[in-house]
Amino acid sequence: MTGYVDVHSHLVFGVDDGARSLEESLRLLTEARDTGTRLVFATPHVVPPYHNWNASQGRIARIRRNFAAIVEQAPAGIEVRLGFEITARPQRLRSDDDIHRFRLTGTEFVLMDGPQAVPWVGDSTMERYARRIRAEGLTPILAHPERRACWRGAHDLGFAERMKAAGALLQIDASGLTGADGPGCDVEARRLLTEGLVDLIGSDGHGGKSPVRLDVAHTMAAEVVGEAAATRMVDGSILSL
């Protein structure tokens, strides 16, 4: 293989709970390159409402501005493209909400933020949003389904299977598999791997203790599903890249 493709990271500085400065963004990119990644999608959270971040129209413009600053100074040997991590909420289901603007650049895929405890168990917003993305001719990628089964108070067993049935690809986090996200997430991540439900592994790197790297998780996944299947989860082939 010729390098990893990481579909999920928070390396755009100053727009969410990821990188906080241009210097940190560049450091994360260098770390990704040095651990074998050739292409990384920067996927800031998209509100409303998500924590206290500004939900106004200006937010997307700010993301694009900061992203452009990163591209200008990006280290050699790694490509960075813009995407988004969309939080499914009722307003996202409105037919006038343009989903195509949220694609991972150069692909027909949209990254959806996998829920922890919200929406609450029994709420079908996530499944409906996945179906809406499908209806637009795009493919949803659901981030970190393993959290839904292991997060405090959530224990929504069967969530991953329901999202798969709704047409979503499943992307586990490298940090979920390695155990960095806490006890329980790694158990569920392994279960999803063992049952053949995982399509992709993403770093979901935020900086700090959350690295933008796939190499360790790739090795761990290979121990569960074999080298060839694990490589397909990290080499971009599923995105036709």
Applying CB under 5 A, which residues contact Fe ion? 85, 204
- Residue 51's nearest CA partner among 23, 80, 10 is 10
Are 234 and 201 within 8 A, CB to CB?
yes
Kindly report the length of the chain: 241
CB atoms within 10 A of CB 64: 12
Q: Least distance (Å) from Fe ion to the CB of residue 12?
A: 11
Terminal C-alpha separation, the chain: 12
Are the C-beta atoms of residues 198 and 173 closer than 8 Å to each other? Answer: no
DSSP for 147-211 reads: HHHHSTTT--TTHHHHHHHTT-EEEEEHHHHHTTT-TTHHHHHHHHHHTT---EEE--B-BTTB-
197 CB neighbour count, 10 Å cutoff: 16
CB-nearest residue to Fe ion:
204
Nearest approach in angstroms of CB 84 to Fe ion is: 10
Task: Quote the least distance from Cβ 149 to Fe ion, whole Å.
Answer: 17
For Fe ion, give the closer residue by CB, 85 or 188. Answer: 85
Q: To which residue do tokens 């089964």 refer?
A: 149
Residue with Cβ nearer Fe ion (186 or 204): 204
Q: Which is nearer to Fe ion, 3 or 18 (CB)?
A: 18
CB of 200 to Fe ion, least distance (A): 13
Residue number, 50 or 99, with CB nearest to Fe ion: 50
CB of 37 to Fe ion, least distance (A): 16
Comparing CB distances to Fe ion, the nearer of 135 and 139 is: 139
134 to 54, 58, 131, 153: CA distances (angstroms): 28, 27, 5, 30
Q: Least distance (Å) from Fe ion to the CB of residue 148?
A: 14
User: Between 85 and 235, whose beta carbon lies closer to Fe ion?
Assistant: 85
